[in-house]
């Protein structure tokens, strides 16, 4: 038995302690109905760029609470007819979500996807290290970072609006006239991987509230965060979950509110969104066996919760990182699922 086989056998027998709230679906239906993602549109401002094969834009998406979400949008440069109308069949679209404390990244990070024939959107997560502020007022203080903002209730928690923003990104991309909404994929690493799973679940399961006719067709989640918070908190030794440790240390040293805190986090656990993605969507997941920020137990539980076609790439010598070869596997994955053959 190889090291990977041995570890997967161990993970199969791991008993997680997370539970899905009884009103989970009702909570997110209400959240989407109040956020009105169906009206989301990209506001485009062209950016001169020296690669003529692509068109590059700085974009804004208006969030449900009025915040302006900033990002980049790239698409292949297509010929236009005599009246300036783009003459080409619709193209597949991708949304890239970034990692914790990151931002939309550089144009060059999105460029090679546009050169393959995708329209691609990269958006800031509000309040993190991009140009998108978070103007929400939270009911209590928090430890440095975002994990503990609004932990007093699911309605107030920071990630509620982050998840709704992510849905808006997919909807806005699908509304672009050059994008085929039947061929949309989402991807990211760490926090971005968790957001990819959550967003695909919300869009696919609650399409009427979202305003898209089609499902997200492909999901790539590299070393995904935001999964199995309870196990992650017990097993982690670094990463954003350490903020919870400090929160307890400063606000609840005897952990008297521990169960109440994790009952809030249960509404935001990517594991509970994974089955919502459905059987018609393919998923690619990666996991590092030496990951101490997103322990393998949490990622494997997320993977097991996926119900459709799925592939898990396991890297025994990697921690919270992905080898370069994972990008090639991603390229193959999205080409198979989204590009014409």
Distance CA 292, CA 237 (A): 5
Orientation angle between helical segments 296-305 and 3-12, nearest 10 degrees: 70
User: Is 320 one of the annotated active-site residues of the chain?
Assistant: yes
Catalytic residue, chosen from 16, 180, 291, 322, is: 291
User: Is 190 one of the annotated active-site residues of the chain?
Assistant: yes
Distance CA 115, CA 107 (A): 12
Distance CA 215, CA 205 (A): 8
Catalytic residue, chosen from 98, 236, 272, 320, is: 320
Catalytic residue, chosen from 16, 190, 220, 322, is: 190
DSSP string, 139-199: SS---SSSTTTTTT-TTT-HHHHHHHHHHHHHHHHHTSTTEEEEEEEEEEETHHHHHHHHH
User: Is 286 one of the annotated active-site residues of the chain?
Assistant: no
Q: Locate all alpha helices (DSSP H) within 158-309, ordered by sequence.
A: 158-174, 191-205, 207-210, 229-235, 242-251, 258-265, 270-273, 296-305
DSSP state of 49: -
Residues designated catalytic: 190, 291, 320
């Amino acid at each position: 038995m190889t090291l990977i086989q041995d570890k997967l056998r161990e993970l199969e027998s791991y008993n997680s302690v997370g539970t899905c709230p009884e009103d989970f679906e009702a909570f997110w239906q209400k959240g989407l109905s109040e956020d009105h993602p169906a009206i989301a549109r990209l506001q485009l401002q062209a950016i001169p760029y020296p690669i003529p094969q692509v068109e590059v834009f700085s974009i804004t998406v208006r969030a449900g609470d009025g915040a302006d979400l900033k990002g980049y949008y790239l698409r292949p440069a297509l010929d236009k007819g005599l009246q300036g109308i783009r003459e080409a069949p619709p193209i597949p679209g991708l949304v890239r979500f970034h990692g914790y404390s990151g931002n939309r990244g550089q144009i060059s990070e999105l460029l090679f996807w546009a050169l393959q024939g995708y329209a691609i959107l990269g958006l800031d997560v509000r309040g993190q290290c991009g140009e998108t502020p978070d103007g929400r007022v939270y009911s209590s203080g928090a430890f440095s970072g975002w994990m503990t903002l609004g932990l007093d209730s699911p309605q107030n928690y920071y990630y509620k609006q982050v998840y709704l923003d992510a849905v808006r990104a997919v909807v806005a991309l699908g509304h672009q006239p050059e994008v085929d909404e039947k061929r949309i994929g989402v991807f990211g690493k760490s926090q971005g991987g968790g957001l990819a799973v959550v967003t695909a679940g919300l869009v696919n399961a609650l399409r009427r509230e979202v305003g898209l006719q089609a499902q997200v067709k492909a999901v790539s989640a590299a070393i995904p965060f935001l999964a199995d918070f309870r196990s992650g908190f017990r097993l982690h030794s670094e990463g954003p979950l350490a903020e919870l440790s400090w929160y307890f240390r400063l606000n609840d040293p005897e952990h008297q509110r521990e169960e109440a805190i994790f009952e809030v986090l249960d509404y935001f656990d990517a594991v509970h969104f994974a089955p919502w993605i459905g059987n018609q969507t393919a998923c690619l997941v990666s996991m590092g066996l030496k990951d101490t920020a997103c322990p393998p137990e949490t990622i494997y539980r997320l993977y097991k919760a996926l119900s459709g076609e799925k592939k898990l790439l396991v890297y025994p010598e990697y921690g919270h990182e992905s080898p370069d070869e994972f990008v090639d596997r991603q390229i193959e994955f999205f080409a198979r699922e989204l590009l014409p053959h």
